[in-house]
Amino acid sequence: MHIQPFQALYPDQQMVASEIAFFDTTKENYSHFLQHNFFYKMNSPAIFLYQIQSLRRIYTGVLASTDLKDYTQGNIKKHEHTIRTEEEKQMRLTLERRAAVKPVLLTYAENELIDQWIEQYISTHSTFLEINFSEEEQIHRIWAVQEQTEILQIQQLFRDQVAHAYIADGHHRMSAMELICETNENEALRQAYSEVYCAFFPSGQLDILEFNRVVQLPENLSIENLLQSFESLFIIEPLTASTKPSQLHEMTLCTSQGWYRLCWKHSILLEYTDMPVVLDTMLLNEQVIDKLLHISDVRYDQRIEYVDAAKGLNAIQQKIIKNPNLIGFCLYPVQFNDLKNLVEAGGTMPPKSTWFEPRMKNGLIVKIYE
């Protein structure tokens, strides 16, 4: 993997009255903030180490500019299809800002040498930037690697140790950079935008959480009839309380009449033996959402809503209390090896299969295109 230092902006903390308000609106208000001097410019290009400390754990990764060729040549691998209109939207935003306010999130296989280098650097250098998000109970820390010798060291490690990386979040931002370079006739501009702003977190420093579904039942389908139709697909077990699934090919179902555990029958799984990886999101979309509930467009149909795992099971339950005609499917999170194997086999995941943490902040470190 080819990483480079980049020219960056960082926020003037004295100008930020509320961390949440500022960073949550930077995506929309970046140009206004830049015009009114909310950002400082780094004195020289840098590679950054980025650490997020939450109540639960600490995540540590690397912020760097990455050669677009690593994406176009297949070294950076994707697991979702992109939509052209969203690519074009991201392209316009990037060109208007002449900046990337948030990195594409990449993950790679654990590597002890890189881990040791990062740990050594952090233990022997002061933070460049530290922001306490008290409402979220998180601390975000940044170290700026600007010494040429140290930059060369981390570059060499990524070149030698990281053959492939996988997009966790930012498929449209990545493909938008490719689109800029494909469609622009200005050679200098193409060269500038061939460097993509990325955050690298090893797989052990990344949590892959589930995306749950809340679905509107057809008017003529009762909960009783729904469960009856499920008997050919699942082993069904009533539950006494809200529960998360505990393993692959198990889901839990929330209805106005209670909770149920759903385990895919072996006969259904046998239909997919030719697949490199069989994901519950794929099974649910094909066997239930499409065939039984007649929702074919899971990306845009208003009868289906995606609820990220961070909101918890209670968020699903509350929606169903308000509208008994809704049901909720809670899924087991995709595992990194399944994601990797699927991508290596050339497959893609259904929309909203994964929710990745850590969640980085817009505007904390901004890559500028000069």
Joined tokens for residue 139:
């601390």
Decide which of 352 and 111 is more confident.
111
Do 76 and 193 fall within a single domain? yes
In the predicted model, is pLDDT for residue 122 greater than 90?
Answer: yes
Cα–Cα distance measured from residue 139 to residue 359, given in angstroms and rounded to the nearest whole number? 12
Q: Give the tens place of pLDDT for each residue, 264-313.
A: 999 999 999 998 899 999 999 999 999 999 998 888 888 999 998 888 89
Residue pair 192/100 in contact (Cβ under 8 Å)? The answer is no
Do 48 and 189 fall within a single domain? yes
Residue pair 130/193 in contact (Cβ under 8 Å)? The answer is no
What is the pLDDT averaged over residues 8-24? 89
In the predicted model, is pLDDT for residue 84 greater than 90?
Answer: no
Do 103 and 37 fall within a single domain? yes
Q: Give the tens place of pLDDT for each residue, 35-66.
A: 999 999 999 999 999 999 998 899 999 999 99
Tell me what pLDDT residue 309 has.
87
Cα–Cα distance measured from residue 146 to residue 44, given in angstroms and rounded to the nearest whole number? 7
Joined tokens for residue 178:
């490719």
Do 321 and 231 fall within a single domain? yes
Tell me what pLDDT residue 12 has.
93
Q: Among 147-161, 187-201, 222-236, 348-362, which is the least confidently predicted range? A: 348-362
In the predicted model, is pLDDT for residue 189 greater than 90?
Answer: no
In the predicted model, is pLDDT for residue 16 greater than 90?
Answer: no
Do 213 and 247 fall within a single domain? yes
Tell how far CA 75 is from the center of its chain: 18
Total count of domains within the chain:
2
CB burial of residue 200 (10 Å; 0-12, 13-18, 19+): buried
Decide which of 147 and 336 is more confident.
147
What is the pLDDT averaged over residues 214-233? 93
Do 255 and 361 fall within a single domain? no
* Domain boundaries, position 271: 208-356
pLDDT confidence of 86, banded at 50, 70, 90?
confident
Joined tokens for residue 241:
């309380």
Cα–Cα distance measured from residue 249 to residue 323, given in angstroms and rounded to the nearest whole number? 27
Q: What is the DSSP string of 102-127?
A: SPEEEEE---HHHHHHHHHHHHHS--
Matching residue, tokens 């530290």: 130
Q: Which residues pair with 66 in a beta bridge?
A: 3, 196
Do 251 and 198 fall within a single domain? no
- Asked if omega into 202 is within 30° of 0 (cis), the reply is no
Average pLDDT of the chain is 92
In the predicted model, is pLDDT for residue 254 greater than 90?
Answer: yes
Q: Is 12 helix (H, G, I), strand (E, B) or coil?
A: coil
pTM of the model: 0.86
Tell me what pLDDT residue 328 has.
96
Do 90 and 198 fall within a single domain? yes
Q: Which CATH number goes with the domain that contains 224? A: 3.30.1760
Do 214 and 203 fall within a single domain? no
Do 179 and 310 fall within a single domain? no
In the predicted model, is pLDDT for residue 81 greater than 80?
Answer: no
Do 247 and 195 fall within a single domain? no
Q: What is the DSSP string of 252-300?
A: EEEETTEEEEEEE-HHHHGGGTTSS---HHHHIIIIIIITTT----TTT
In the predicted model, is pLDDT for residue 185 greater than 80?
Answer: no
In the predicted model, is pLDDT for residue 228 greater than 90?
Answer: yes
pLDDT confidence of 21, banded at 50, 70, 90?
confident
Joined tokens for residue 77:
């691998």
Tell me what pLDDT residue 364 has.
95
Do 164 and 43 fall within a single domain? yes
Q: Among 76-85, 175-184, 301-310, which is the least confidently predicted range? A: 76-85
In the predicted model, is pLDDT for residue 89 greater than 80?
Answer: yes
In the predicted model, is pLDDT for residue 32 greater than 90?
Answer: yes
